[in-house]
Structure 1
Amino acid sequence: MTVQIFLFCFIVTSVTMPSLPSPVVIHNLVEKKLPLVEHDKPKVVAHRADPKPTPSLHLEKSREINAKPCKPHRPDSCSQNICKQYSINLKMNKAYFNFRYNKCFCSQCYPITKADYFTVAGSIYTVPRHWIRFGLQIDQTFAESKQIFKQWYTTFYGTSKGKLESIINNRFVPMPGDHLLSNEIFTTRLSDKHHVYTSPSIKYACLKHVCPVDIVNIHSEWYDVQIILECKQNPEGIVKQHGYRQNVCNIIPDNEIEWKTDRRASIIPYGLLIHVQKHRCTKECINIHS
């Protein structure tokens, strides 16, 4: 009886417990990558050539230009050092500037053999010979969306050091009577209070009725200094007309040398032009400047 029970249990166990399969060895296991769907694809981010951020309109005093002394100016040398020292003396915030676009148009750096004028967007403007340009920051998004360096004209706007920072901080040349961010009302020396006046001629833009002379002492020398803003101007709404004076420029005709517009935010400064020359005293100022 005992032998029969043992045989019965052995038979049941053999039937109910199947044998395990032999292990399978996997060689060269390679992970399969699923195709990227749209939101998984890496995005290409475009960067500006100048990674510096555009300055805010409320600028910090700590970022002002360091008043580093420049080398003395020699009459036969480039005037960049004197112009740089003058720009430092203006005590404007460094964040206004984009120094990558500085350019000197003195007779040494821009010789007489080079072009006297350029054409952009089908419009001629004169080379600012004997002037030094300091690049200004602009709204890069606006400039790219409007393609201002391809489709807008290049013009010059004569101004003074008293108006300079208000204009640059405003990001465009204001209309007379505009209330500025500095809480002041913008005024000009012209009788027309309904238009902004520019010119494609540097010689016309520096006439003293729009571009007064600032007499300053730099390195114990007296200089006559003038300031002009190099701008991109929207072609729409420009009226070209005879100027305040004739025979000022041998490139731009007299009947098109003065431009006016009543379009607000249509003139964007992108360069600060400074011109210096030795001051010649008259009888009225010889005692002051001696």
Structure 2
Amino acid sequence: MIRLNYNQSEVSFENRVETNKQNDGHPFFSSTPGQCSLFKLCQEYVLSLGWEKCFFAPQHDRCYCNNCYSSSQPDVILTAGDTYVVPREWAGFGLSVDPALADYHKLWTEWIVTYHGTSIYAAQSILANRQFLIPGDVLLNGSVLGIRPGHIPGKKHIYTSPSIRYSSLDVYSIRNDFTASSGKKYKAQLVLQCRQKPGTFKIQPETVGRGQDPICDFISNDKIEYFTEIRVSLVPYRLLVNLKDI
């Protein structure tokens, strides 16, 4: 089994005791992620990124494949008074969250769940600096975060959505090549699952040119995109990974 090689001593007491809080508000998982072949494959991809262990809180890992989160379980979850769509067929890797910040802001009870599509370098910068990025920011590799092709030019905001399908569109979540240890090739995508403070963002229709063509089965196109300029109103708590066969 591939692991992120955490020792118990490396996980703070505060993070351990908030395990039951960081659970997305639903107890519907039928198995532990480490037993799942999809999760192991996605874990291999995460390890290949070479990111620091301190980014992760593996006690909050989740897998949303049909074996771990069955088709009979809800597709939409209500938490903190708002709904979000379950990220089916994605594997989730728990991220470290400052327990003082979480307690002060009542993160797990009063902030809603949203998704933020991203790239490898943008995600690494967000996790390393604990700050979300706006177009024009410089990433850790020295490149400047631009507005992705297909999106409205000149709009400098942080974009999120309660829909994993919307946040994983190519305009938000860049696909990268990944060759597994088996030799099989995949296209990999990253999305950050976040807690977002209510009242700090605006809601608008889709801005990717889909018009009335439905993007998500559960969230209508006219209220599928959230945007904000308030960086501290978003806290990532899980890295979601999706792999597609090439």
**TM score, norm. by length of structure 1:** 0.67
Deviation per CA, 1:69-105: give whole Å up to 9, x if none: xxxxxxxx73111101100100001111000000000
Asked if 1:81 is matched to 2:44, the reply is: no
Are 1:78 and 1:108, in contact at CA under 8 Å, matched by a contact in 2? Answer: no
Q: Which amino acid aligns with 1:231?
A: C
Are 2:197 and 2:233, in contact at CA under 8 Å, matched by a contact in 1? Answer: yes
Q: 2:108 aligns with which of 127, 149, 152?
A: 149
Are 1:215 and 1:224, in contact at CA under 8 Å, matched by a contact in 2? Answer: yes
Q: 2:177 aligns with which of 207, 215, 226?
A: 215
Corresponding residue number in structure 1 for 2:59: 100
Q: Which amino acid aligns with 1:251?
A: F
Deviation at 1:193, TM superposition (A): 4.2
Aligned residues: percent identity? 32
Q: 1:198 aligns with which of 157, 160, 165?
A: 160
SS of alignment partner, residue 79 of structure 1: helix
- CA distance in 1: counterparts of 2:58 and 2:203, whole angstroms: 32
Residue 174 and residue 49 in structure 1: after superposition, are their counterparts in 2 closer, same or farther (change >3 A)?
A: closer
- CA distance in 2: counterparts of 1:181 and 1:131, whole angstroms: 26
* Within-5 A mapping of 1:170-185: 170-178=129-137
Deviation at 1:194, TM superposition (A): 2.5
Aligned-residue CA RMSD (Å): 2.3
* Within-5 A mapping of 1:131-142: 131-142=90-101
- CA distance in 1: counterparts of 2:175 and 2:136, whole angstroms: 24
Are 2:121 and 2:141, in contact at CA under 8 Å, matched by a contact in 1? Answer: no
- CA distance in 2: counterparts of 1:117 and 1:234, whole angstroms: 19
- CA distance in 2: counterparts of 1:213 and 1:186, whole angstroms: 16
Deviation at 1:178, TM superposition (A): 3.9
SS of alignment partner, residue 48 of structure 1: helix
- CA distance in 1: counterparts of 2:167 and 2:160, whole angstroms: 7
Q: Which has the higher contact order (CA 8 A, sep 6+)?
A: 2
Residue 148 and residue 87 in structure 1: after superposition, are their counterparts in 2 closer, same or farther (change >3 A)?
A: same
Q: 2:221 aligns with which of 242, 250, 254?
A: 254
Residue 152 and residue 176 in structure 1: after superposition, are their counterparts in 2 closer, same or farther (change >3 A)?
A: same
Residue 152 and residue 194 in structure 1: after superposition, are their counterparts in 2 closer, same or farther (change >3 A)?
A: same
Asked if 1:266 is matched to 2:228, the reply is: no
Q: Of the two, which has the highest radius of gyration?
A: 1
Residue 265 and residue 183 in structure 1: after superposition, are their counterparts in 2 closer, same or farther (change >3 A)?
A: farther
Structure 2 unaligned runs (5+)? Answer: 1-12, 19-35
Deviation at 1:144, TM superposition (A): 0.7
Corresponding residue number in structure 2 for 1:118: 77
